[in-house]
Amino acid sequence: MAPIQKNPIIEGIKNVYSTLAVLFSCAMVGGLIFSEQTNISRDVHPALAAVLIVFAISWLSVVEGGQASLVGLAPVNRELYKDSHPIAYKATAISHTGDNLNRYLLGRQFMVVFIVFTINQSGNPIADAEVFGLPSLITSIFLGSGLAMILITTNLGQLNSQVNASYCMLDYLNSTVNYITIAVARLIEASGLVHSSYLVQIIVAAMAGKPVESREAPRTDMQNIFFFGRCFMSLGILIFAFVLTLVALFKGKTTMWEGVPSGVAVAVFFLLMSVVGMLEGMQIAFFGVSRIPEDERGNSWIAKKVCEILFYGEAENLAGFMIGRQLCVVSCMFFIARVTSLDIDPAVDETIFGVSPSVQKFLNFGFLGALITTIVASIAWQLVASAFPIAFLGNPFTYLLLRWCLFLEATGICNASYVFAWIKKKIFGFQRDEVYIGTAEERRERNMADNADVLSVGTGHIYKIPLTDAPEELKNLIANNVAVRKFMASKAAGSETDLEA
* pLDDT, average across residues 67-93: 89
501, pLDDT greater than 60: no
- Residue 102, sorted as left (phi over 0), alpha (psi -120 to 50) or beta, turns out to be alpha
pLDDT per position as a tens digit, 115-158:
998 898 888 888 788 898 889 899 988 988 889 999 999 999 98
**pLDDT tens digits, one per residue of 184-196:** 999 999 999 999 9
pLDDT tens-digit profile of 341-386? 887 777 777 888 777 888 887 777 778 888 999 999 888 888 888 7
- Contacts (Cβ under 8 Å, ≥6 apart) of 238: 196, 371, 372, 375, 376
Q: Tell me: pLDDT of 313 over 80.
A: no
> Distance (Å, rounded) from C-alpha 450 to C-alpha 486?
11
Question: Distance between alpha carbon 75 and the CA centroid of its chain, in Å?
Answer: 22
Is the model's pLDDT at 327 over the cut of 60?
Answer: yes
Question: What's CA 197's distance to the chain center, in Å?
Answer: 17
Look at residue 500 and tell me whether its pLDDT is greater than 60: no
In which band, very low, low, confident or very high, does the pLDDT at 461 lie, cut at 50, 70 and 90? low
Quick check: 321 and 409 in contact, CB under 8 A?
yes
Close Cβ partners of 227 (under 8 Å, ≥ 6 residues apart): 195, 198, 219
Asked whether residue 219 is domain-assigned, the answer is no
Q: What 3-state DSSP class applies to 342? A: strand
Q: Is residue 495 part of a domain?
A: no
pLDDT at 392: 80
State residue 462's pLDDT score: 62
pLDDT at 468: 44
413-450: pLDDT as tens digits: 999 998 999 999 999 999 988 899 888 778 888 887 77
**Residue 81 confidence (pLDDT):** 93
Full 3-state SS string of 452-488: HHHCCCCCCCCCCCCCCCCEHHHHCCCCCHHHHHHHH
Whether residue 234 is predicted with pLDDT greater than 90 in this model: the reply is: yes
Phi/psi of residue 125, nearest 5 degrees:
-70, 150
The percent of residues in the chain predicted with pLDDT above 90, rounded, is 36
User: Does 218 fall in a domain?
Assistant: no
**DSSP code of residue 443:** H
Q: How confident is the model at residue 92 (pLDDT cuts 50, 70, 90)?
A: very high
Q: What is the DSSP letter of 211?
A: P
DSSP H helical ranges for 290-315: 301-310
Domain contains 191 = yes
pLDDT value at residue 56: 95
What's the angle, vertex CA 33, arms to CA 32 and CA 36, rounded to 5? 85
pTM for this prediction = 0.81
HSE (side-chain half, CA atoms, 13 Å) at 481: 12
Helix (H, G, I), strand (E, B) or coil at 254: strand
Cβ-Cβ contacts under 8 Å for 19 (sequence gap 6 or more):
415, 416, 419, 420
Q: 90: domain range? A: 8-211+227-490
Give me the mean pLDDT over the 209-229 stretch.
87
Q: How many domains is the chain partitioned into structurally?
A: 1
In the predicted structure, residue 387 carries a pLDDT above the cut 70: yes
Check residue 482 and give its pLDDT: 46
Give domain status of residue 274, yes or no. Answer: yes
**pLDDT winner (highest mean) among 197-211, 394-408, 484-498:** 394-408
25 has pLDDT over 60: yes
Average pLDDT, the chain: 82
pLDDT tens digits, 268-312:
899 999 999 999 888 888 766 765 666 666 677 888 888 888 777
Per the CB < 8 A criterion, the answer to whether 54 and 62 are in contact is no
For residues 49 and 345, which has the higher predicted lDDT (pLDDT)? Answer: 49
Q: Which residue type sits at 450? A: D
Give 38's strand partners: 125
The residues facing 448 across adjacent strands are: none
Q: Tell me whether residue 220 is in a domain.
A: no
Secondary structure (3-state) at 406: helix
Read off the DSSP letter of residue 299.
S
In a domain? residue 106: yes
Amino acid at 361: K
pLDDT of residue 88: 94
